[in-house]
Amino acid sequence: MTRYILRRILQALLVLLVMSFVIYSLIGLMPGDPLDIMLASNPGATPEVVEHLRKLYGLDQPLMLRYLRWLQDALVGQFGYSRTHSLPVLSVLVPALIQTCKLMIISFIASVILAFILGILAALKPGGILDGVISLFAFAGISVPVFWLALMMILVFAVKLHWFPASGIATVGDGGFRDQALHLVMPVITLALASTGGFTRYVRASMIEVLRMDHVRTARAKGAAEWRVVLVHAFRNALIPVVTIMALSFGVLFNGALLTETMFAQPGMGKMIYDAILGNDFNLALTGLLFATVVTLLSNLVADLAYGWLDPRIALT
Amino acid sequence: MSATTATAVPRTEAAIGPWRLRWRRFRRHRAGMASLVVLLLLALFCLAAIPMQHVLGMDPDATDLLARFDPPSAEHWLGTDEAGRDELIRLMVGGQMSLLVGLLATAVGGIFGLVVGVFAGYFGGRVDALLMRFTDGMIALPLLPLLIVLGAVDLTKLGFSSEFARSGAAGFWRIVIIIAIVDWTAIARLVRAATLSIKERDFVRAARASGAGPLYVMPTHILPNVATPIIVAFTLTVGRVILFESVLSFLGFGIVPPTPSWGNMLNNAQELVTTAPALAVYPGLLIFVTVIAVNFLGDGLQHAFDPRSER
Amino acid sequence: MSAPLLEVRGLRVGFPRAGGLRHVVAGIDYALSPGRTLGVVGESGCGKSMTALALMGLVPPPGRAEGSIRFDGRELIGQSAAEWRALRGNRIAMVFQEPMTALNPVMPVGAQIAEVQVLHKHLGWKEAGENAVAMLEAVGINSPRERARAYPHQLSGGMRQRAMIAMALACEPALLVADEPTTALDVTIQAQILDLMLELQDRIGMAIQFISHNLAVVSEIAHEIIVMYAGRIVERAPADALFANPRHPYTQGLIATLPDPEQRVARLPVIPGGVPDLDAGARGCRFADRCALADAGCRAAEPPAEEIAPGHFAACFKAAA
Amino acid sequence: MNELVALDGISVHFHLGGGGFLGGKPRILRAVENVSFAIGEGETLALVGESGSGKSTLGNVVAGLQPPTAGTLRFRGRTLDRATWPQARRSIQIVFQDPFGALDPRMPVSAIIAEPLRIQGIGTPAERRARTAALVEQVGLPVDALNRYPHEFSGGQRQRIAIARALAPDPALIVADEPLSALDVSIQSQVLNLMKELQERLGLSYLFISHDLAVVNHLVDRVAVLYLGRLVELAPRQLLFDRPSHPYTQALLHAVPRIGRKRARGQTIKGEMPSPLNPPPGCVFHPRCPKAQDVCRTTAPILEPAPGRAAHMSACHFKE
């Protein structure tokens, strides 16, 4: 078991290394380079000065060499300075990461609970009316463009009804728990709805599959009541594939977070990366992307461990 | 050999081929059938722009600054946008863009995933390990931020001329390609799993025992038998790709204005949402209806292809 | 013979399909006395498994069972879901063909056995768990305390079927329905399981309805045998009488086509053709198309079951002669 | 009898992961261990054993679907290797157990039967069509079966189609892997008779893999009994059924259910076959053997003639 986790962490680190190079090269392909911005504020710079700066920042070196130098610094926690914030990258990133995790975890838990309830109800009578209604809801969740949903919610609940604030994480001068919670309602609903749809479909499919199995018939043949057959015998089996997919999807939630944060002006990782890319803040964008990759890799690892923990047939070696 | 001769084959469902049977099952899936109709209507709606442009001379790019935010009228059925352009014709042309990107990116990424999946599944061992590590790496990437980075990539740095980099065609193909690059993994995994199970089936083993190599087995036995899950997966991918396109265009990294797409028509809808909410509602609603119809279609196909859903 | 424990009259199991019901069990009658073993033999699709599920009230929807099943003086057809549940696993228990899939893969074997007593005897899990260990020992599993904690995949095929039997007998039922319990097993393991079932019958005294496609297996353990064909009972007789003097042409064919491990013949006799579609021959004898003796009379009317010798019934116009 | 196929010291081991960097102890499944026998022209040899005995793996080796880990395979006197296998393939065909998985559901019957000819490039399309039509009749199916798809046929009919496919390239040997066990009793005898008839007419050899001794008795000339991947007994049919030499064969014969016999308790062999991942030392049968002595626990017996019967080979320290 320990050996398995060790091996998986090693594999993940390897993936992370490769990805850091890929992302590093891609960032380098974005328009402009670090000097452009510096020069923009200092239009009088002569070509000699530019050349000197280029050397100073190592921009005349080949990509691989620049990457290795960056890696060397990154390995000791030096991710450089954020140009747009004029702060070390980590001090911009850490609060944003915390904010995003809060949003993602609340939405994730909400959508998991909702998906289990709806998915099981739908699976009890496939093709029934309840199944139809739930399927419609689930497909709507999968199919709705997240940014548009956010827009519509702002339009209805903030602009028209004034139920919830349209943006930010707290009102200036208030910032109490109730105020913060109110600011979270719409982002959480937006983010949760998309994944709830997908999760509900998985729970439903998995439950239908399991309810067809022989051992469910055995449970009935024992004289177990229907609720017991569904919630004890079928559910535990249906959980195995579903939990794996859910854990894997935690990383995918990041996509939604980027949009949700942008739409509701929440100072999280997603918005930070988006702004960094727009503002040519290379160091911040690069580090942000890497941290997002780490979150995905971690959720993959958790998915594997959960699989081994839930399914006694799987021996993680 | 009279004693061992089997009696005549029972003729109950004899004349019906597998595809007829599936079509019959699909027709009974109400949501799937309704979605098929909706999608056909949507396609007609978008294509109707062509005669309207050529016959009626309507121009999706013609601005009229005196007629900004006009309400629906006889001339502009759905009113005009912030530059005084006709909203209806822009929705139709934008729909062509969105659907085309959806289909093309799915085809490009899907075929790539198909090839990767079949090879990984059939050959197994090292090839499989290598291809699947690669796929796992792709899956571990934060997709949307990466798409944005890819969308922001400066084509001149890759050696393309700056005219090309600014042209509409480049914008179109760029989005097709970057979506294809990131969205082939689901199909690759699915095809690999299907290939793994089919290559161990006895009819493949019988062919191999007769001396058949991979070049015979893959097209004759594997591909036709993985066709049904692939069709379903392709359908669902189209829906996802349309969503991706809309997001990227919305954020300003996709189809470049003035060429309309449903995504970029929402581009500055956020600021306008209080002044002209209708402009924010129409394109989003069309995206939503299209994608939900595609998903229900996929569900209907899955039902039709599942041998267990006899009835 | 004592009063029957189980009496089945005109049992039919139908599934809706375009243009009415399709009956996979089309009206059968039999009885089973306490402590006796009834063998049910037939090929796939003859309705033998569906008969078993009807006894358990487990005919999968949208199927329906009609007719009469009297068990221990009570009518089972039409009783409420709660009444079925009180009976299942308690007074009537079932063993299935494939022990690997019939056991819950994510629940320890001991807990699956204990659950039966928790449900019906209202014991606590702890006490029921102790009893489960004892039952595992009774069905011949070594180190039962450890096995009780094991998951099904950690047991061998034979052990899994033993655990399945322990589960079925946890409440000492009056009737055990065994649906092809040895078909998925190797011959040496099959022999062990058959021995075990006979031994437990001696100890507990339950009646067994033993369903199998294998005539030879049934012949070794059953007191009475039913031969089913296309949803009907074609012959019913005490085991010795059936093999010594089979009267229905289908039974005769089945026995003749079976290769004998002791004797080799140049050509085995065969029953030509295959099992008919249940819709096809609505009239006449269902076996007529494959029967060498069939004439116009056989195709016109369905032969009723006639008692041609004491306790020996055959549904064939040619059998009485 | 001329030797058609000969196996010499065939072993098949499967690596089930493990080993390598941080991988832990490698796990090796020994499916077949040092098996040698030969099949003559026109002969039927039965490979008998319970699940996990390695009989199907051995069948795959003979059909060229599983390269052996060790040992050699000879066909008509020539060792089969990469260079010689392609030619031998048309002469060795295989029929599988499950008639539903054995036929590609997307192909019409005509294409299924002609497949070995197409792969081997035998004949023109017209010749292949003629051959296919002839084969369909030979296995007792109506000619109009050719244009239909597998899902329109019953299990027994599918098995006939599979046999027709195996016959297409005019093979010398057919490996039949449990061809009857998925069929209904009344259909089994039909297919069994067909196989016998084809053998008489075409002079085929069969390697007949089965767990059913009663069926074996009706079809074969010699019987090889496998236990945990080892050949424990190899004898002409009559000798084996009359005087089984190995205690495992005796137990197997005794366990076969018979019509009209009442179960005699307490005579059944105890225990189950151990895992091929971890075979017992010495004679692999000793944990279940009623005759086991100390020597059995330490020393593996070799396959030798039984006392007084030169053709009757048995691997037991106390063979009868």
Q: Between chains, do B153 and A255 touch, taking CB under 8 Å as contact?
A: no
Please report the pLDDT score of residue A37 as a whole number. Answer: 61
| Class of residue A193 by CB neighbours under 10 A (exposed 0-12, middle 13-18, buried 19+) | buried
In whole numbers, what is the pLDDT of chain C averaged over residues? 90
Query: Is the dihedral angle over the CA atoms A118, A119, A125, A128 positive or is it negative?
Result: positive
If you measure CA to CA, which chain B residue comes closest to C18?
Answer: B311
Q: From the CA atom positions of chain C, what is the Rg in Å?
A: 20
Whether the CB of C234 is below 8 Å from some CB of chain D: the reply is no
CB contact under 8 A, B7 and C270: no
Higher pLDDT, B138 or D258: D258
B153 touches chain D (CB under 8 A): no
Average pLDDT, chain B: 81
pLDDT of residue A314: 75
Q: Does position B11 have pLDDT exceeding 60, yes or no?
A: no
Residue B264 pLDDT: 84
Identify the H or E element spanning A24.
helix A2-28
String of DSSP letters for C262-286: S---SS-----S-PPPTTT--SS-T
Q: Does B273 touch chain A (CB under 8 A)?
A: yes
Scanning every residue of chain B, which has its alpha carbon at the shortest distance from the alpha carbon of C292? Answer: B3
For all residues of chain A together, what is the average pLDDT?
A: 85
Cα C24 from Cα C231, distance rounded (Å): 5
Binary contact (C101, A223; C-beta < 8 A): no
Which residues, given as ranges, of chain D have pLDDT below 50? Answer: none
- C106 secondary structure, DSSP code: T
Selection from A304-313, B157-166, C38-47 with the highest mean pLDDT: C38-47
pLDDT band at B2 (very low <50, low <70, confident <90, very high): very low
Mutate which: D22, D25, D277, vs A, most A CBs within 10 A: D22
Nearest CA in chain A to B265: A148
Is the pLDDT assigned to residue C137 strictly greater than 90? yes
Query: If you average pLDDT over residues B277-285, what whole number do you get?
Result: 85
pLDDT at A45: 67
**How many CB atoms neighbour CB D278 within 10 A?**
10
> Which one of A11, A20, A143, A264 would you mutate to disrupt binding with B, by most B Cβ within 10 Å of its Cβ?
A143
Quick one: pLDDT band at residue A89, thresholds 50, 70, 90?
confident
Q: Which chain C positions have a beta carbon within 8 Å of D270's beta carbon?
A: 192
* Contact status of B154 with chain A (Cβ, < 8 Å): yes
- pLDDT for B308 equals 60
Cβ-based burial of D281 (10 A; exposed 0-12, middle 13-18, buried ≥19): exposed
pLDDT band of residue C282 (cuts 50, 70, 90) is: low
Whether C292 and chain B come into contact, CB under 8 Å, resolves to no
**Domain ranges, ordered by start, for chain B:** 19-44+88-309
C119 and C128 Cβ atoms separated by less than 8 Å: no
Of C267, C272, C277, the CB nearest to B7: C272
Q: Do A317 and D17 touch (CB under 8 A)?
A: yes
- Report, as an integer, the average pLDDT of B135-154: 78
Q: Do C102 and A218 touch (CB under 8 A)?
A: yes
- Residues in chain B with CB shorter than 8 Å from the CB of D197 are 1, 4
Judging contacts by C-beta atoms under 8 Å, the chain B residues touching residue D102 are: 202-203, 206
Nearest chain A residue (CA) to C59: A217
CA atoms within 13 A on the CB side of B310: 7
How many CB pairs below 8 A link A and C?
A: 71
Collect all residues of chain B within an 8 Å Cβ-Cβ radius of residue A144: 288, 291-292
Question: What percentage of chain A carries pLDDT values higher than 70?
Answer: 92
Q: What is the mean pLDDT of chain D?
A: 90
| Best mutation target, B295, B299, B301, B306, to test chain A (most A CBs within 10 A) | B295
- Inter-chain touch C188–D252, beta carbons under 8 Å: yes
Choice between B66 and C290, residue whose per-residue pLDDT is larger: C290
Residue among A13, A316, A317 with most chain D CBs within 10 A, to mutate:
A317
Q: Quote the CA–CA distance of C147 and C136 in Å, as a whole number.
A: 8
pLDDT at residue C94 greater than cutoff 80 = yes
| CB-based burial label for C238 (10 Å; 0-12, 13-18, 19+) | middle
The proportion of chain C whose per-residue pLDDT surpasses 90, expressed as a percent, equals 64
C272–B3 CB contact, under 8 Å: yes
ipTM of this complex = 0.84
The CATH architecture annotation of domain A90-310 reads: Orthogonal Bundle (1.10)
Put simply, the answer to whether C103 touches A218 (Cβ < 8 Å) is yes
Sheet bearing D304-306, strands edge to edge: D92-95, D173-177, D205-210, D44-48, D222-227, D230-236, D309-314, D304-306
Separation in Å, CA D22 to CA A10, A168, A317: 10, 48, 9
- To the nearest whole Å, the CA of B18 is away from the closest chain C CA by 20
pLDDT of residue B227: 86
Residue of A151, A270, A300 with shortest CB distance to B273 = A151
Q: Does C270 touch chain B (CB under 8 A)?
A: yes
* Residue A58 confidence (pLDDT): 67
For residue B15, the distance in angstroms to the closest alpha carbon of chain A comes to 29
List CB contacts (< 8 A) between B296 and chain A: 139
Which two structure tokens, joined as six digits, stand for C150? 């094991």
Q: Does C10 touch chain B (CB under 8 A)?
A: no
Say whether pLDDT at C135 is over 60: yes
Task: Tell me the C-alpha distance between B213 and A46, whole Å.
Answer: 67
Token pair 């294509």: residue: B47
Encode pLDDT of C234-278 as tens digits: 999 999 999 999 999 999 998 888 887 777 777 888 888 777 766
Q: What is the pLDDT of residues C182-219, one digit of tens each?
A: 988 899 999 999 999 999 999 999 999 999 998 989 99
Q: Which residue has the higher pLDDT, D251 or A50?
A: D251
For chains B and D, CB pairs below 8 A equal 89
8-state DSSP, C288:
G
Q: Check: CB of residue C255 under 8 Å from CB of residue C271.
A: no
Q: Do B6 and C274 touch (CB under 8 A)?
A: yes
Nearest CA in chain B to C278: B12
* Partner D, chain C 201-220, Cβ-Cβ below 8 Å: 213-217, 219-220
Predicted confidence at residue B311, as pLDDT, reads 39
Q: Which of residues 26-65 of A touch B (CB under 8 A)?
A: 26-32
Identify the band that residue B13 occupies on the pLDDT scale cut at 50, 70 and 90.
very low
**Closest Cβ–Cβ partner in C270, C276, C277 for B3:** C270
pLDDT surpasses 60 at B128: yes
Query: What ranges do the domains of chain A cover?
Result: 2-89, 90-310
Closest Cβ opposite residue D102 in set B18, B206, B224 = B206
Higher-confidence residue of A102 and B153: namely: A102
Band of residue B164 on the pLDDT scale cut at 50, 70, 90: confident
**DSSP three-state, residue C4:** coil
Tell if the CB–CB gap between A222 and C89 is shorter than 8 Å: yes
**What local confidence, expressed as pLDDT, does residue C272 receive?**
83
Query: Taking each helix axis from N to C terminus, what angle separates C249-257 and D185-202, rounded to the nearest 10 degrees?
Result: 50
Looking at the complex, report in whole angstroms how far the Cα of residue A17 sits from the nearest Cα belonging to chain D: 19
- The torsion of the CA quartet A149, A151, A156, A162, rounded to 10 degrees, works out to 130
Q: Find the mean pLDDT for residues A150-157.
A: 88
* CA–CA min distance A231, chain B (Å): 24
**Is A317–D22 a contact, with Cβ atoms under 8 angstroms apart?**
no
Residues on chain C touching D265 (C-beta within 8 angstroms): 195, 198-199
> With an 8 Å Cβ cutoff, are B145 and A142 in contact?
no
Tell whether the model's pLDDT for residue B6 goes beyond 50. no
Distance CA B147, CA C152 (A): 47
pLDDT over 90 (residue A292): no
Instruction: State yes or no: pLDDT of A191 exceeds 80.
Output: yes
Q: Is A60 exposed, middle or buried (0-12, 13-18, 19+ CB in 10 A)?
A: exposed
- Give the number of other CB atoms < 10 A from CB of residue C240: 14
- Most confident by average pLDDT, A95-104, B82-91, B216-225, C124-133: C124-133
**In this structure, are residues D10 and D68 in contact, taking their beta carbons and an 8 Å threshold?**
yes
Identify all chain A residues contacting B25, using CB atoms and an 8 Å cutoff: none
pLDDT of residue B15: 44
| C96 to A215, B11, C183: CA distances (angstroms) | 10, 33, 10
Q: Tell me how close the Cα of B222 comes to any Cα of chain A, in angstroms.
A: 25
Amino acid B87: pLDDT: 78
Residue C290 confidence (pLDDT): 87
Q: Which of B148, B183, B261, B290 to mutate to test the interface with A (most CBs of A within 10 A)?
A: B148
Retrieve residue B273's tokens: 């949402």
CA atoms of A23 and B141, how far apart (whole Å): 10
The predicted pLDDT at position B14 comes to: 41
Q: Which of residues 242-301 of D touch C (CB under 8 A)?
A: 251-263, 265-266, 268-270, 272-273
CATH number corresponding to B19-44+88-309: 1.10.3720.10
pLDDT for the residue numbered A30: 75
Least confident of A46-50, A265-269, C40-44, D39-43: A46-50
Beta-sheet pairing, C20-32 with C6-17: antiparallel
